[in-house]
Structure 1
Amino acid sequence: MRTGMMALAVGLLAPMFLPALPPVGLMLVLPVVGLMLLPFRTYPLAFLLFGFTWACVSAQWALNDRLPAHLDGETRWLEGRVVGLPQNADGVVRFELADAHSRHEKLPSLLRLAWYAGPPVNSGERWRLAVKLKRPVGLLNPDAFDHEAWLLAQRVGATGTIKDGQRLSEARWAWRDSIRQRLLAVDAQGRAGALAALVLGDGSGLSREDWQILQDTGTVHLLVISGQHIGLLAAVMYLLVAGLARFGLWPLRWPWLPWACGLAFAAALGYALLAGFDVPVQRACVMVGLVLLWRLRFRHLGAWWPLLLAFNGVLLLEPLASLRPGLWLSFAAVAVLIFTFGGRLGAWRWWQTWTRAQWLIAIGLCPVLLALNLPISLSGPLANLLAVPWISLVVLPPALLGTVLLPLPYVGEGLLWLAGGLIDWLFRALALIAGQWPAWIAPSISIWVWILGSLGAVLLLLPRGVPLRPLGWPLLLILVVPPRERLDEGLADVWQLDVGQGLAILIRTRHHTLLYDAGPRFGDFDLGERVVLPALRKLSVDNLDVMLLSHADADHAGGALAIARGMKVVRVLSGDPPGLPAELSAEACESGEQWQWDSVRFQLWMWADARDSNQRSCVLQIEANGERLLLTGDIDVHAERVLLDSPLAVPTQWLQSPHHGSRSSSSMALLNALKPEAVLISRGHGNAFGHPHPTVLARYRKQGLRIYDSAEQGAIHLQLGRFQAPWTMRQQRRFWRDPPALAR
């Protein structure tokens, strides 16, 4: 049976690695084949087929429930019910709408909406809304967070921006939201948001600084409810009943053991429902249930068997949970503990067990975090050593008890005030640790390097004295300092990152690095910090020789400050230095300046008589082995006319579309003079400016240009000097992504 359960797990996981789901006919045939195999006792193969079919069918249902392509970008009036816990941050109300319907169109079952400067929205309310709908898409960059996969795992069929709306009915059965509102209204010494995260699993009340501290210290799992809290509450309830029975305080007519197990599981399940029943909570509930069942029936299940059953149980409930990092981190952490402590012959003292567990979990999760492209906390073992008992034993009891006793005047509020103060002390300590050891974003590694590093982690988890165990350290070190590939002399490696409605292009030669524009920043939403800086780390960029900001507009230079604070930047150039923060110490772009790195030539140009920031964009020409790329910023037709009289007006193979393909740029005179073969467009999907303009696209097609558009193809990778077609992120096929668009 265990072999069958393992085969079932493999079948449930297999679809996440497929570039496309199998056809419907095959999905109908596979379970029939599985049933035919059962009489021949080929249980593993039958279970594999059952798991694979169920996962594929479930994924296909989610894909079929996406917004139809003809509604992408359309505004429709619709009605629906608010579900989950709405979030209100930075003047934007975000929430999910279920059972949405429109008069003339069939809509997805679940929508994720944003309402800028919108009114308060509560869970359970019904609204009539005018929504600009979008298909679930996200930015696609190398080894970065996959927003499309996350939306599919949440079964969100469309996103949208609300233009107008009216409430149709008040909230009904929104008990979680009402509890959250009461928690947020309590005086918790400034930590009401953290209490809501701990009690309800709702992290919307945590500030961006709080999230950064938790990420740097590897303690996110403690504040946004984890399985550990579920197990702790179940254990407390079990021990309470057992203690009452031991001292004769439990009614004799009620058998204490069934009641202890039943109440413990009820407490775990109640806390799980309170927290939203997410993946770590599901895993904890299943495992707690199995342990209590073993205790009730006196049957030895071992440690791996409950873990495997819990894993299959979670995936059977929601096969798309395999797309969530939380699934892998939750089960991997438990597996590391079982592997580490399950086969030990001697006993450790309690303090040895506790300290070694933190370091061994950090080592065991290192390959998992790398595979998931997540930051690695260098201070995680130390921070968790202090934070886990503090949250579990000191903060959680008054937080839960205070929530239950909120109806009692002063009692519940007093307990929550105490819990808030205890959390604040913890955050102060974690901030000190995070300031010394921030999270580390590892560079991209090959599959072979990852396999060797994972082998090293497994060796280090073995008991002391096992042969070959010392080899674990050098093998694990390969993950930390992987071998780097050097570009050939005379080549330029170019990445146009997918930053939405903005621009960020990375150019690397054999020994030097230049960043042209730094991505957009709109309010507190900084793509330089969230996308560009992590992408530079993943691409093994430790410092920038030059950061060239074409001009000072927020969509081009907004992320510059975050990048300058996150890594060493030797020189900052710009066509509009006065418009940039003084902290950047930007130098003015000078027409005619040129230099050479590793046999790759760079040359600058700027219109001296420019009248606005767009026209002052600093233009950069890059030439490698005779192949040229022209980066134009946001120049318009007037600046283009002057550019044609400069040394840069020569045949150029690659053109970065001026001003994102705006109607005011990309004149026929420019295209005729440069004779480009292909154009790179960086813009946001469904942007409000209408970029690229249809007339500009018509000009490109008339010239026979290949068009590479970040909104359709994600990040674009080009090796200048090889005269080859670029590679785009959409070419990395995944079943949840739309097929890659061909260069038009």
Structure 2
Amino acid sequence: MVTGMLALAAGLLALGFMPVLPPGWLLLLMAIGGLMLLPFRTHPVAFFLFGLAWACASGQWALDDRLPQSLDGQTRWLEGRVVGLPEPGAGVVRFELKDARSRRERLPRRIRLAWHGGPPVNSGERWRLAVKLRRPAGLLNLHGFDYEAWLLARRIGATGTVKDGQLLAPARQAWRDGLRQRVLAVEAHGRAAGLAALVMGDGSGLTREEWQLLQDTGTVHLMVISGQHISLLAAVIYLAVAGLARYGLWPARWPWLPWACALAFVGALGYGLLAGFDVPVQRACVMVALVLLWRWRFRHLRAWWPLLLALNAVLLFEPLASLQPGFWLSYAAVAVLIFTFAGRLGSWRWWQSWTRAQWLMGIGLLPPLLALGLPISLSGPLANLLAVPWISLLVLPPALLGCLLLPVPYVGEGLLWLAGGLLDGLFRLLGAMAGLWPAWVAPLVPLWVWGLSSLGALLLLLPKGVPLRVLGWPLLLLAVWPPQDPVAEGEVEVWQLDVGQGLSFILRTRDHAMLYDAGARVADFDLGERVVLPTLHKLGIRRLDLMLLSHADNDHAGGALAVQRGIAVSQVRSGEPEALPAALQSAPCDSGLSWGWNGARFTLWQWTGAADGNQASCVLLVEAGGERLLLTGDIDVHAERALLDSLLAVRTHWLQAPHHGSRTSSSMALLRRLTPKAVLISRGRGNAFGHPHPQVVARYRQLGMVIHDSAEQGALKLRLGTFSQPESLRQQRRFWRDWPAMP
């Protein structure tokens, strides 16, 4: 039976690794084949086929519910009900609409919307909205957040921007939204948003700085509803009933064990409903239910059974849950604890068990964190050693009781005030730890290095005295200092990052690295922090010799401050140094400046007659091994005409499309003089400017240029000096990603 359950789990988990989904006839054939194999000894194969067929079918249903291509970018009036908790931000509110209807078109069942400058939106309300609809899409960068996978896992079939709207019906029984508003209105030492996250799973009120603090200390799981919170409440109820029974205070006619298990599950389920009963909460409730069932009736079975049953139950209910990183981390954490504590000889004192659990958890979760490309908290074991009991025993009880007693004057507010004060003290302590040990973003790790490091972590989790256990440390440290693939002498590695409607290039030689533009910063969404910095860290770059900002427009220089705060920058230059923040201390472009790094040549140019910021863009020519790349910023036809009279007007192999391919750039005179083989377009999908302009694209095609578009292909990697084809991240097929259109 164990092998069958493992095979079923393997089939269900295989969904996340599939580049494409099998056709329907093949899925039916797999299910029939599984039925035929079930009576024989090959039943694990049958369970695997069942799991794979069900997961693929579920994934295909989610894909079929996506917005049709014909409606992508179209504005439609639709009606629907707001579900979940809306997420208010700086001048924008984001929310989800369910069962949306339009007069003429079939729409996905669930749509995620953003309303800039709109009125307050509450859960349960019905709205009539004019929405510019978009198919699910997101930025695609090196080990970045996969927004498309996140949307699919939540079965969101479209996104959109609200242009206008009308409230049709107020909320009915929107008790969660009302409770959130009351919690946020309480004076709780400035931590009301943290209490709302802790009690209701609503983290929208937490600031970016608070999220970064939690990430640096490895305590994000404490501020979202997780299995720990739900299992804690269940454990308190179970222990209360057990204590009453032990001292004779429980009615003798009621068997205490089934009652303890049943009441504990009811408490866990109630907490889950308070938190919205989302997929992570469902996962936690299933786990608690199976542990309680195991405790009541099946204690003779090993502790692995509840974990395996919960894993299969969650995946059978929602196969797309495996697309979310939290799924892997939660089950990996429980598996580490079971492996560490189950079946050990001798006993540990409570404080030994607690400290070892945190230490070994840090080791055991290192491989999945590396595989998922997530930051690794250096202070995590120590921070969790203090924060987990602080939240579980001191903050959570008064927070839950305060929410329950809010109708009682002063009592509920007083309890929330106490919980907020305790939470504020914890945040101050975590802030001190984060200042000493910020989160570490590991560089790219080859698969064979990851495998050896995982083996090292497994060895370190084994009991003392196991042969070869000491080899775990050198194997584990391979992931900390993995072997690098250095850039060869005379070559330049070029990355065009996917920063939407903006621009950012990373260029590095064997011993040097520079950044050309840093993307935009819009409200609290900073692409320098979200995309550029993580990519620099993933490439193993810890210092920039030069940050060159073509000009001061937000889509080129908005993320520069975040980059400067997160990595050492030796020098900053810009085409508009006077228009940049003083903190950047930028030097001018210095047209004509040329230098060499490891056999590659770099040359700057700027039009002295520029009348605006776009024309003043600092242009960079990079030459390596006879192959050339020209980065042009946002120059227009007037600046291009001046460029034709400079030393940079030479045959170029790669051209960054001036001004994202706008109609006022990429003149035929420039293209004929440079004769590039390919053009690199950096732009946002469906941008409001219409970039690239169809006339410009027609010019590119007329001259036989290959078009590489970040909106279609994601981030792009190029080895200048090898005359090889670039690598697109979207070439790494995943079934939930739209395949790029052919240039």
TM-score range, shorter chain: over 0.9
Name the SS of the counterpart of 1:202 in structure 2.
Answer: coil
Q: Which amino acid aligns with 1:293?
A: L
Residue pair 1:279, 1:327 contacting (<8 A) in 2 also: no
Partner of 1:161: 161
Q: CA deviation at 1:462?
A: 0.7
Equivalent residues in 2 for 1:459-470 (5 A)?
459-470=459-470
Per mean C-alpha deviation after superposition, the further-off stretch among 3-12 and 564-573 is: 564-573
Q: Which residue of 2 aligns with 1:681?
A: 681
Give the deviation of 1:309 after TM superposition: 0.4
Shift of residue 89, structure 1, vs aligned partner: 1.0
Instruction: Output one character per residue of 1:218-248: Cα deviation in whole Å (capped at 9) or x when no partner.
Output: 0011111211111111111122223333444
Question: 1:647-666, aligned counterparts within 5 Å?
Answer: 647-666=647-666
Question: Which moved further from structure 2: 143-152 or 37-46?
Answer: 37-46
Q: Decide whether aligned partners of structure 1 residues 345 and 702 sit closer, same or farther in structure 2, where only a CA change above 3 A counts.
A: same
Deviations 1:338-359 (A, max 9, x none): 1111132121221111111111
Tell me the CA shift for residue 298 of structure 1.
Answer: 5.6
The aligned runs of 1:43-82 (5 Å cut-off) are 43-82=43-82
Which position in structure 2 is the counterpart of 1:436? 436
- Alpha-carbon shift at residue 177 of structure 1 (Å): 1.4
TM-score w.r.t. the length of structure 2 is 0.99
SS state at 1:663 partner: coil
Quick one: distance in 2 between partners of 1:177 and 1:345?
50
- The alignment status of 1:636 with 2:625, answered yes or no, reads no
Q: Deviations over 1:51-99 (max 9, x none)?
A: 1011000000000001111111111000000001001011111000000
Amino acid at match of 2:127: W
Check the 8 A contact 1:518/1:549 in 2, yes or no.
yes
Aligned residues of 2:294 and 2:306 also touching (Cα < 8 A): no
Q: CA deviation at 1:583?
A: 1.5
5 Å matches for 1:313-324? 313-324=313-324
Residue equivalent to 1:396: 396
Q: Could you tell me how far 1:328 is from its partner in structure 2? A: 0.5
Partner of 1:524: 524
Which residue of structure 1 aligns with residue 376 of structure 2? 376
State the Cα distance separating 1:286 from its structure 2 match.
2.3
| 1:500-649 matches, cutoff 5 A | 500-649=500-649
Q: Deviation at 1:489?
A: 1.1
- Check if 1:18 corresponds to 2:21: no
SS of corresponding position for 1:708: strand
Residue in structure 1 matched with residue 288 of structure 2 by the alignment: 288
Change (3 A) 1:366 1:279: farther
Once the 2 structures are TM-superposed, how far is the Cα of residue 584 of structure 1 from its aligned partner?
Answer: 1.4
Aligned pairs for 1:399-438 (under 5 A) are: 399-438=399-438
Report the alpha carbon displacement of residue 181 of structure 1 after superposing the two structures with TM.
Answer: 1.4
**How far is the alpha carbon of 1:268 from its aligned partner?**
0.8
Report the 3-state secondary structure (helix = DSSP H, G, I; strand = E; otherwise coil) of the residue aligned with 1:132. strand
Distance in 1 (alpha carbons) for counterparts of 2:282 and 2:9:
16
Q: Which residue of 1 aligns with 2:708?
A: 708
Aligned equivalents of 2:470, 2:294: Cα separation in 1: 38
Measured in 2, the distance between the counterparts of 1:278 and 1:95 equals 15
Say if 1:662 and 1:692, in contact at 8 Å, map to a contact too.
yes
Deviates more, 1:281-290 or 1:68-77: 281-290
Match of 1:180 in 2: 180
Residues in 2 aligned to 1:252 and 1:347: alpha-carbon distance in whole angstroms: 33
Corresponding position of 1:353:
353
Q: Secondary structure at the match of 1:339?
A: helix
Structure 2 letter corresponding to 1:622: V
The 1:254/1:348 distance shift into structure 2, 3 A limit, reads: closer
* Separation in structure 2 between the aligned mates of residue 427 and residue 559 of structure 1, nearest angstrom: 27
| SS in structure 1 of the partner of residue 617 of structure 2 | coil
Q: Secondary structure at the residue paired with 2:365?
A: helix
- DSSP 3-state at the match of 1:34: helix
Q: Secondary structure at the match of 1:84?
A: strand
1:226 to 2:222 alignment = no
Q: In 2, Cα distance between the equivalents of 1:298 and 1:98?
A: 41
Q: Distance in 1 between matches of 2:673 and 2:419?
A: 69
> Identity, % of aligned pairs?
73
Partners of 1:558 and 1:297 lie apart in 2 by 60
Contact 2:619 2:633 in 1 (8 A): yes
Deviation digits for residues 668-709 of structure 1 (CA, Å, limit 9, x no counterpart): 110111111110000011111111111111111111110000
After TM superposition, give the deviation of residue 253 of structure 1 in Å.
Answer: 4.1
Deviation at 1:725, TM superposition (A): 1.5
Match of 2:333 in 1: 333
Q: Which TM-score applies when normalising by structure 1?
A: 0.98
The CA distance in 1 between the partners of 2:316 and 2:195, in whole Å, is 31
Count of aligned residue pairs for this structure pair: 743
Taking the aligned partners of 1:303 and 1:250, their CA distance within structure 2 comes to 28
Task: Render the CA deviation track for 1:373-412: whole Å, top value 9, x for unaligned.
Answer: 1000000001001000000011111111111111111111
Displacement of 1:175 in angstroms is: 2.1
Q: Residues 461-500 of structure 1: matches in 2 within 5 Å? A: 461-500=461-500
SS at match of 1:203: coil
Give the conservation status (yes or no) of the 8 Å contact 2:492–2:719. yes
Moved more, 292-301 or 338-347: 292-301
The alpha-carbon distance between structure 1 residues 49 and 298, as it changes in their structure 2 partners (threshold 3 A), is: closer
CA RMSD of aligned residues (A): 1.1
Measured in 2, the distance between the counterparts of 1:492 and 1:325 equals 33
The SS at the match of 2:571 is strand
Deviation at 1:252, TM superposition (A): 4.1
* 1:344 counterpart letter in structure 2: R
Query: How far apart are residue 740 of structure 1 and its match?
Result: 2.9
Q: In the alignment, which residue of structure 1 is the partner of 2:693?
A: 693
CA deviation profile, 1:492-521 (whole Å, cap 9, x unmatched): 111000000100001111111111111111
Query: 2:413 & 2:7 partners in 1: Cα distance?
Result: 50
Give deviations 1:713-738, integer Å, cap 9, x for gaps: 00011111111211111101000011
Q: Quick check: 1:86–1:94 contact (8 Å CA) kept in 2?
A: yes
Amino acid at match of 1:300: H
CA distance in 1, matches of 2:386, 2:704: 63
- C-alpha distance in structure 2 between counterparts of 1:293 and 1:225, whole Å: 22
**Cα shift readout 1:96-133 (whole Å, capped 9, x = no counterpart):** 00000111110111000000011011111100000001
Unaligned runs of 5+ in 1: none
* Structure-2 separation of matches of 1:354 and 1:293: 25
For 1:244, the equivalent position in structure 2 comes to 244
Alpha-carbon distance change, 351 to 368 in structure 1, aligned in 2, over 3 angstroms: same
Q: In structure 1, how many angstroms separate the alpha carbons of the residues matched to 2:418 and 2:617?
A: 55
**Aligned with 2:139: secondary structure?**
coil
Give the gaps of 5 or more residues in structure 2: none
CA distance in 1, matches of 2:482, 2:115: 44
Partner of 2:262: 262
1:524: Cα distance to partner? 2.5
**Displacement, 1:196?**
0.7
Aligned to 1:151: 151
> Do the aligned partners of 1:280 and 1:330 also contact (CA within 8 Å) in 2?
no
User: By how many angstroms is 1:148 displaced?
Assistant: 0.7
Amino acid at match of 2:52: F
2:29 alignment partner in structure 1: 29
Deviates more, 1:527-536 or 1:239-248: 239-248
Q: CA deviation at 1:41?
A: 4.2
Shift of 1:38: 1.7
